[in-house]
Amino acid sequence: MELNNAEYTKVVDALKSRFPNSINDIGVPYETLTLSVDSAEIKNIIAFLASEELGFSFLTDVCGMHYESTDELGVVYHIHNLYTNTRIRLKTRLPKSKPEIDSVTSIFKSANWQERETYDFFGIIFKGHPDLRRILNMDEMDYFPLRKEYPLEDGTRTDKNDSMFGR
């Protein structure tokens, strides 16, 4: 993958030399540097990005994903370096049977509710999170609604057949 941006090359080189086995896939879709990283190393990678050396001091966004084709879950992080105005996207994949990943709340306090939201909707367990409870849904809910297997509407209805309209 050609990185035609000096800042991207610098970040990728630094990450590659520090975590040679954890950076899998590098791309720049729609001008955002996107790395697929090993979920076990995520906390170290984000701590390294947030350190003064690289200066990614702002966690823009944390969100969950459900990759239906491989039936894996994932967490996507968007981190922003406000000095050089570089955005980076980190993508992780987790097995659905054991969706556990380290929490980054100790690095970014803004991750707190965003991780709770991800847990709430995808059931991803953030290890080390100070208060991992549901946030937007009710506490009694026993499923994770943004996973693809949960239909928006009652699956027993037959009067609303959408099969002719795409998905």
Partner 1 sequence: MIESLKNKDLSEMNLNTINLGPTHPATHGIFQNVLTMDGEKILHAESTVGYIHRAFEKLAEHRPFNQITPITDRLNYCSSPINNFGWEMTMEKLLGVQLPKRVEYMRVIIMELARIADHVICNSILAVDTGALTGFTHIFQQREKIYEIYEEICGARLTTNIGRIGGFERDFNDKTWKKIKDFVQEFPKAFKEYEALVNRNRIFMDRTIGTGAVSAEEALNYGFTGPNLRAAGLDYDVRVMNPYSSYQDFDFTIPVGKQGDSYDRYMVRSAEMWNSISIIKQALEKMPDGPYHADVPEFYLPPKQDVYTKMEALIYHFKIVMGETKVPIGEVYHSVEGANGELGFYLVSDGGRTPYRLHFRRPCFITYQAYAKLIEGSVLSDAIITMSSLNIIAGELDA
Instruction: Give whichever of 17 and 146 is closer to partner 1, judged by the CB atom.
Output: 146
d(CA 42, CA 104): 8
Site map (CB under 8 A) of partner 1, residues 41-80, x = contact: ----------------xxxxx-x-xx---------x-x--
d(CA 85, CA 99): 32
**How many Cα atoms sit within 13 Å of 87 on the Cβ side?**
11
Instruction: Give whichever of 20 and 90 is closer to partner 1, judged by the CB atom.
Output: 90
DSSP letter string, 47-73: HHHHSTTT---EEEEEEEEEETTTTEE
Q: Does 167 bind partner 1 (CB under 8 A)?
A: yes
The one-letter amino acid at 91: K
Smallest gap from residue 51 Cβ to partner 1 (A): 14
Q: Does 145 bind partner 1 (CB under 8 A)?
A: yes
Specify which residues 75 forms β-bridges with.
64, 92
DSSP letter, residue 107:
T
Q: Does 114 bind partner 1 (CB under 8 A)?
A: yes
Which residue from 4, 6, 29, 98 is in contact with partner 1, where contact means CB under 8 A?
29
Q: Which two tokens stand for residue 119?
A: 């847990």
Residues contributing to the site for partner 1 (CB under 8 A): 29-30, 32, 34, 57-61, 63, 65-66, 76, 78, 82, 85, 87, 89, 108-110, 112-114, 117, 121, 135-138, 145-146, 152, 165-167
